[in-house]
Structure 1
Amino acid sequence: MDNQVYDIVGLGETLLRLTPPKLERLDQSAGFDVQVGGCESNTLSAMARLGFSCAWLSRLPESELGDRVRQTLRQHNVDVQHVCPGGDDRMGLYFYEPGRAPHLSQVIYDRADSAMARMTPADLPTALFQPGRARLFHTSGITLGLSASASATAQQALKLARSAGIPCSLDINFRQRLWSARQARQCLEPLLGQLELLLVAERDIQALWPEAWDASSPEATLRRFQGFAPNSLLVMTRGSAGATLLTPAGELYRVDAFVAREVERLGGGDAFAAGFLSAWLEGKDYPQALRQGAAVAAFKYATPGDIAWINRRQLERLLADPAATELCR
């Protein structure tokens, strides 16, 4: 194993996505478009496309289906050499049925007992969790909610990263189909104090921490939520309403969303994370980091699939547009 230093190491499950063409319904279509998507790998793929060195940790079956995921992430320059082989374990799938009003879009998961759900702490490449091997470790609530062993793996990875002095970030990304709000809170709250960066959708605060929710004031919501993670840099995404950031010192920043003609929303939060985390690694200030997150998210909304197929040139052109969004403090 080499001693490459990574900008970011991410842990999580990536699925094959099957989508019927031409807005057909799942029970109507004779075929499916196959794509690759997963919370952490979506974020890493966009960051790798922007020039960052990214390593993805997971467990994949040793089959053509697992190879499809490996090949796709390699295409975006994500390093998959540390992925644990899952033998003949099953590949996690999800089906996406796009909709137009009055027909609503829907997602159907088929991921129970997948290869990643069977990953254990012993599968982690501990050589990556040494001082100086990575500048940031990133995972999500989806990974913690997959299974008991996946949760133990993610928690061990966070512990190893912290012991090595590697900053940690977490995207809450609550999925009610994986676990209940009560289960999610019981798992997440003890971990919040270990995080330098915490990304959370406004709707997830409403679902998981209703006592912090203030429908009339996003800023009040975030300040109340800060009581659960007082030492973390908090970033709350609000969809078309933009995003708000609160520092441990109490400084508040806000960015409006970039104008985007929506093609597909799936992966938008992961794209925001990619833009924000890449700016944070570049040492940009908080307003710039928020704006970069909003820009990558908007680019993703305007393209199909789960991954933001953006490059540095496109990002810089978008950020240079003074009419794209208005930044406030």
Structure 2
Amino acid sequence: MKKVVTFGEIMLRLATPGYQRFIQSTNLNATFGGGEANVAVSLANYGIPAQFITRLPQNDIGDWAISELRKYNVDTQAILRGGERVGIYFLETGAVARPSKVVYDRAHSSIATIQPGSINWDEVFEGAQWFHWTGITPAISQEAADVCLEAIQAANRLGITVSCDLNYRKNLWKYGKTASEVMPALVEGCDVILGNEEDAEKVFGIKPEGFDVTQTKGHVDSAAFESVCVQLKKRFPRTKKVIITLRGSINANHNTWGGCLHSDRLYESRRYDITHIVDRVGGGDSFMGGLIYGLISYPQDDQKALDFAIAASCLKHTVYGDFNLVSVKEVEGLMGGDGSGRVSR
């Protein structure tokens, strides 16, 4: 089977235990995570060869990050070594009416100073069928954006499917350019676009009428986003499929979760009621990993691909850490209606 390649930053994640606040915590749990790395781990768990490309410092923390990826059978052989440091993010998990908080410490990370021309993308893409990136990578630095564009252009030239998760993060765009200035040139090369209720509006000014993300009260109408999908496909003619994840936030521990996919028509997923969230960080990445698996495994069945992605990401909300450590069998079990949580003996 041909491989999937992802490109982006992997960070050290330092999280307060349980629901403790930063100010009261005396220790932090250390794991790793990052949008494109999270997708690679999901795909490797599903049996799809996955290769992650990044740049990490030549030190013990860089070695640690690579070791974590290898633990989950992600191909790390083309990771560049160099630069000053591994980026860090600090996480305080919210509860009920108190939202989670993320504090970034990733300035001058190794990938932020990556140089155009430093990766031979033709070599990396040998034996590849798919390339995935997110809007987080071009937000890190101009250099990271330039290298991401190199990858997209190479993938287009080689006939490789390209997907992106728009993943708008306002706190990352700090180097003098906005997402609206940088992202269009990259998204033009994408065959599959994923976003949430806000991404298309924040990056491209495209939004559904009469929708306020802060006032969902647990329900988001997928039909309202058909116009968003159509507008995105019109703006980016190469794009064949646009997918929107739909999160209804009742409180920090209780969300509804669903999605819609527009290709030849609008497909809608079932809606999950997630009442006791363990960890929602990486939820969108777990959806993307499930979607890529579904589109590769069920190429003529967009509904099944969407259903697999939603079920996979629903399960991710029960798993601590950024990585979605579930199997195809577990996802298919939930797709088939087994959400009882009974002990498997």
Give the alignment's TM-score, normalised by structure 2.
0.86
Distance across 1 between alignment mates of 2:210 and 2:305 = 25
Match of 2:302 in 1: 286
1:193 aligns with 2:207: no
Distance across 1 between alignment mates of 2:56 and 2:157 = 27
Match of 1:236 in 2: 244
Distance across 2 between alignment mates of 1:211 and 1:73 = 36
Rate the CA distance shift 1:228–1:43 in 2: closer, same or farther, 3 A.
same
Offset at residue 26 of structure 1 (A) = 1.4
1:108 aligns with 2:78: no
- Structure 1: gaps (5+ residues): 325-329
Deviations 1:266-288 (A, max 9, x none): 00000000111001111341100
> SS at 1:212's partner residue?
coil
Match of 1:169 in 2: 163
Distance across 2 between alignment mates of 1:206 and 1:182 = 17
* One-letter amino acid of the structure 1 residue matched with residue 104 of structure 2: Y
Distance across 2 between alignment mates of 1:38 and 1:59 = 13
1:178 aligns with 2:172: yes
Distance across 2 between alignment mates of 1:228 and 1:150 = 24
Match of 2:59 in 1: 63
Offset at residue 59 of structure 1 (A) = 0.2
- Structure 2: gaps (5+ residues): 212-223, 248-255, 341-345
Match of 1:262 in 2: 277
Match of 1:218 in 2: 225
Match of 2:127 in 1: 133
Q: Which of 109, 123, 142 in structure 2 is aligned with 1:148? A: 142
Deviations 1:297-323 (A, max 9, x none): 001011111110111221222222278
Offset at residue 104 of structure 1 (A) = 2.6
Contact 1:135 1:167 in 2 (8 A): yes
Contact 2:43 2:289 in 1 (8 A): yes
> SS at 1:30's partner residue?
coil
- Deviation larger for 36-45 or 103-112: 103-112
Q: How many residues align?
A: 316
Offset at residue 170 of structure 1 (A) = 0.8
Q: Which of 288, 294, 312 in structure 2 is aligned with 1:273? A: 288
Q: Counterparts in 2 of 1:45-60, with a 5 A limit? A: 45-60=41-56
Distance across 2 between alignment mates of 1:60 and 1:189 = 27
Rate the CA distance shift 1:85–1:47 in 2: closer, same or farther, 3 A.
same
* One-letter amino acid of the structure 2 residue matched with residue 30 of structure 1: T
Contact 1:15 1:36 in 2 (8 A): yes
**Identical-residue share of aligned pairs (%):** 29
Distance across 2 between alignment mates of 1:174 and 1:155 = 17
Q: Which of 11, 23, 30 in structure 2 is aligned with 1:27? A: 23
1:246 aligns with 2:262: yes
Distance across 1 between alignment mates of 2:63 and 2:51 = 16
Deviations 1:142-162 (A, max 9, x none): 001110110000000111111
Rate the CA distance shift 1:58–1:195 in 2: closer, same or farther, 3 A.
same
Contact 1:161 1:167 in 2 (8 A): yes
Q: Which of 6, 11, 14 in structure 2 is aligned with 1:10? A: 6
> SS at 1:288's partner residue?
helix
Q: Which of 304, 316, 319 in structure 1 is aligned with 2:332? A: 316
> SS at 1:202's partner residue?
coil
> SS at 1:16's partner residue?
strand
> SS at 2:128's partner residue?
coil
Deviations 1:11-63 (A, max 9, x none): 00010000111322212211110011000010110110010100000001111
Offset at residue 102 of structure 1 (A) = 4.0
Distance across 1 between alignment mates of 2:78 and 2:177 = 33
* One-letter amino acid of the structure 1 residue matched with residue 290 of structure 2: G
Match of 1:227 in 2: 234
Contact 1:129 1:160 in 2 (8 A): no
